[in-house]
Amino acid sequence: MKKIFTLTTVLLLLCFLSKISQAQTLIANAGLNQVICLGQSVQLGGSPTASGGTDPYTYSWNPASGLNYDTVANPTASPLSTTAYAVTVTDNVMNTDADTVFVTVNPLPVANAGNDLIICYGQSAYLTGTGGASYAWSTGQNTPSITVTPTSTTIYTVTVTNAGCTASDNVTINVSPPPVADAGDDQTICNGQSATLTASGGSTYQWSNGANTQTITVSPSVITTYTVSATNTNGCSGSDAVTIYVTNCQDTITGKVFIDSNNDGIQNNGEQGAYNMMVNVMPTNNYTFTDINGNYKFPAPTGTHTISVPNIPVYSTITPATHTANFTTPGQIDSLNDFALYQLPNVKELAVSLTAATAPKPGFQSYLYINYKNNGSVAMNGTIELIFDNHYNYLSCSPAYTSISNDTITWNFYNLLPCTSGNIQANFLLPSSITIGTQLQSTITINPVAGDTLPSNNTDTLAETVVGSFDPNEKSVAPSEPLTIAQITNADPLTYIIRFQNTGTAPAIFVTVKDTLNENLNIGSFEMVATSHHYSMQIYGTGILEWKFDSIMLPDSSSNEALSHGFVKYRIKPKTSLTNSDTIKNTAYIYFDYNTPVMTNTVVSYLEEITTLTEEQENELIKIYPNPTNDKITIVFEKESGSNTTIEVFDLLGNMVLSENIIPKIKQETISISQLSAGVYFYKINSEKNFISSGKIIIQ
């Protein structure tokens, strides 16, 4: 049968379905149970909190404590303890439903990083955290215990976790700096005397000799170093050492050499001290030199001593000729030993010297030092004229020049007083293309020469040879050629230069140069020519020369190459008794601060001439070829070589650079010299008993 639905029927059906929907059951949803940590919050209710029934809905949460709102669908709960929250939902037709949710509150762990600590600088602290199942330190470590070594006071944080809850705690490690312990200055005492040592810097003290007081008294019989440990109130310690030097105490001779302008034997106002005057004391035969104020000082043993000024300037007199000091017990001082230096009036005597602080090297700077002095008795005005080698390229000078023209530099000076001096430094550059072995010559002249009582020292000539790589701490002698009998007979002096350079990494506070004179040199003829810096000097023992450059503050070469150099230049005469078999060897030692000394090369001088030849010498006469050469030489004997024959080769600085034994009983031998740089050299050939020959070799 066919069914027919009318509009009325459809409307009735829709109304029926609507009533069925409105009659659906109201359901309240309080949400899932939650677990939080104390202090945390959680949102309650479901999604949604109410369903079914007839909206809109109203909500009521109980208890209201710990909730931000108790009449919303999803309040935020922050309970202080585990709480059951119930929600009652009412719909629009007053149907109700309820649900409960449990919020479990776990307590926070009690984090503990330990007590604050005080440690000493350089020490470590052991930190232990407690209160959790896992740990995280601010250092990045995640173990309960850690070891830290802070260099300054530091706060460390540990975060502990237990049941998902965390807590933190801090611990402060206070770093106490070590005390600055001071054992006092080093002391020098006489053997048998005592020294009092007082420490500072701590609250308690412990000395290396077992004493635990701040001040102790010691009586060492030898040089002894005492160490003290100073501890402060935090238990931190620092240490320092003091050295007690023990000497067999001597007496002291002091005095002054002064310019006695009016020749009355008394130093009057305005009469200055005489600088750099050699003073001798006998019988110890020690020498010293006066300082800038003319003062000098000698240590001396008990007994009688005679003091004198051996090298009196030309046209001068000294009063008295000698002083006598007599000591009966150690520790005495005799200061009444002044010498009056009277200069004859109206004496004009200027002197000048020219010194190279470095050996000339292709492509590098060279530093020429000009030292000038008024040895006369009247103040002088004048000029200093430097004619430098034309291979040099001028860079700078100090003080500034008065004029410069081509290869000539001129400086004016005014009112140069008697016994005073001055210094000039001129800097040059050698071209990199210059050939090793090239001879350089520069000349310095101090004017006026006319009227000068000793014009020979108004001019000085500097002869140099261009070299390759070299040690900047070196020694040279001039003349570098073998000495002639005429030079020995005329007592011509040898001129020595000791050069030094600070090649370290910091300025040298002080420099000491030591040089022992060879026994074939006449110590009484010693004469200082020039130095690069102010100095004090003495000669003691068997001819030990010692220059001290205190507070020189010599820059290191990497910071200031030009000012990192220094030198000492002196003259001394060989003994006239020098024979063919004698040699004069010299080596210097340079001390930069407290570092190990730098040893220079050894320079050698010897006598060249032979007045007569024995029959054996005549049989050993030789010739050498080729000369010039570049890699080897051949030695040809007139007959045949003798036993133990040697050839020695020296450079222009007097350094022995080659020594070879020659096979005996042969007429010729070839020797390789390819290891030597181009330049001029001198050779010397000796047999077992005799000097045979010497001469010059040129290596190209």
Question: Is the pLDDT confidence value at 653 over 90?
Answer: no
* CATH at residue 374: 2.60.40.740
Q: Which pLDDT does position 656 carry in this prediction?
A: 79
Cα distances (angstroms) measured from residue 336 to each of 1, 179, 260, 326? 162, 48, 16, 11
Q: 651: pLDDT confidence band, cut at 50, 70 and 90?
A: confident
DSSP state of 563: T
**Boundary (domain end) residue, out of 434, 465, 496:** 465
Q: Which pLDDT does position 420 carry in this prediction?
A: 86
Query: Are 124 and 198 contained in the same domain?
Result: no
Q: 652: pLDDT confidence band, cut at 50, 70 and 90?
A: low
Taking alpha carbons only, the member of 256, 286, 469 closest to residue 362 is 469
Q: How many CB atoms lie within 10 A of CB 117?
A: 15
Evaluate whether residue 297 is within a structural domain. yes
Evaluate whether residue 12 is within a structural domain. no
Q: From CA 546, how far away is CA 288, in angstroms rounded?
A: 10
Query: Are 569 and 511 contained in the same domain?
Result: yes
Query: Are 373 and 385 contained in the same domain?
Result: yes
Q: What is the DSSP string of 259-306?
A: E-TTSSSS--TT-PBPTT-EEEEETTTEEEE--TTSEEEEEE-SEEEE
Question: Is the pLDDT confidence value at 390 over 50?
Answer: yes
Cα distances (angstroms) measured from residue 13 to each of 7, 121, 560, 588, 670? 10, 93, 111, 129, 138
**Boundary (domain end) residue, out of 198, 221, 247:** 247
Q: From CA 646, how far away is CA 398, in angstroms rounded?
A: 48
Q: Which pLDDT does position 22 carry in this prediction?
A: 47
* Lowest mean per-residue pLDDT among 238-252, 310-324, 410-424, 604-618: 604-618
Q: Which pLDDT does position 553 carry in this prediction?
A: 93
Taking alpha carbons only, the member of 629, 635, 641 closest to residue 676 is 629
pLDDT tens sequence across 3-12: 444 554 544 4
> How many domains does the chain divide into?
7
Query: Are 584 and 490 contained in the same domain?
Result: yes
Residue-number span of the structural domain to which 649 is assigned: 615-699
Query: Are 202 and 256 contained in the same domain?
Result: no
Report residue 95 CA to chain centroid gap: 97
* Lowest mean per-residue pLDDT among 336-345, 570-579, 629-638: 629-638
Query: Are 370 and 421 contained in the same domain?
Result: yes
Mean pLDDT (whole number) for 138-152: 94
Mean pLDDT (whole number) for 392-410: 95
Mean pLDDT (whole number) for 174-186: 91
Q: How much of the chain exceeds pLDDT 70, in percent?
A: 91
Query: Are 423 and 512 contained in the same domain?
Result: no
* Backbone phi and psi for residue 135, each to the nearest 5 degrees, phi listed first: -140, 145
Q: 403: pLDDT confidence band, cut at 50, 70 and 90?
A: very high
Evaluate whether residue 112 is within a structural domain. no
Evaluate whether residue 676 is within a structural domain. yes
Q: 664: pLDDT confidence band, cut at 50, 70 and 90?
A: low
* CATH at residue 648: 2.60.40.3080
Question: Is the pLDDT confidence value at 279 over 70?
Answer: yes
Taking alpha carbons only, the member of 614, 584, 620, 617 closest to residue 602 is 584
Q: Which pLDDT does position 610 carry in this prediction?
A: 46
- 472, 473, 474, 475: CA torsion to nearest 10: 130
pLDDT tens sequence across 438-457: 999 999 999 999 999 889 99
Structure token digits, residue 262:
């009016």
Question: Is the pLDDT confidence value at 18 over 50?
Answer: no
Q: Which pLDDT does position 418 carry in this prediction?
A: 86
Query: Are 676 and 601 contained in the same domain?
Result: no
Taking alpha carbons only, the member of 679, 551, 682 closest to residue 607 is 682
Question: Is the pLDDT confidence value at 340 over 90?
Answer: yes
Evaluate whether residue 182 is within a structural domain. no
Question: Is the pLDDT confidence value at 278 over 50?
Answer: yes
Q: Which pLDDT does position 590 carry in this prediction?
A: 95
Question: Is the pLDDT confidence value at 208 over 80?
Answer: yes
Evaluate whether residue 7 is within a structural domain. no
Q: 607: pLDDT confidence band, cut at 50, 70 and 90?
A: confident
Question: Is the pLDDT confidence value at 521 over 60?
Answer: yes
**Boundary (domain end) residue, out of 247, 271, 297:** 247
Question: Is the pLDDT confidence value at 619 over 80?
Answer: no
Cβ-based neighbours of 19, under 8 Å, separated by 6 or more: none
Q: Which pLDDT does position 689 carry in this prediction?
A: 56
* Lowest mean per-residue pLDDT among 16-30, 253-267, 551-565: 16-30
Average pLDDT, the chain: 87
Q: How much of the chain exceeds pLDDT 90, in percent?
A: 59
Query: Are 316 and 434 contained in the same domain?
Result: no
Taking alpha carbons only, the member of 668, 671, 660 closest to residue 620 is 668
More confident residue, 192 or 390: 390
* CATH at residue 282: 2.60.40.10
Query: Are 239 and 256 contained in the same domain?
Result: no
* Lowest mean per-residue pLDDT among 14-18, 187-191, 348-352: 14-18
Evaluate whether residue 10 is within a structural domain. no
Evaluate whether residue 210 is within a structural domain. yes
Q: Which pLDDT does position 616 carry in this prediction?
A: 41
Query: Are 593 and 571 contained in the same domain?
Result: yes
Q: 491: pLDDT confidence band, cut at 50, 70 and 90?
A: confident
Question: Is the pLDDT confidence value at 666 over 80?
Answer: no
Query: Are 528 and 597 contained in the same domain?
Result: yes
pLDDT tens sequence across 72-92: 999 999 999 999 999 999 999
Question: Is the pLDDT confidence value at 16 over 60?
Answer: no
Residue 253, exposed/middle/buried by CB under 10 A (0-12, 13-18, 19+)?
Answer: buried
Cα distances (angstroms) measured from residue 602 to each of 265, 469, 492? 45, 17, 21
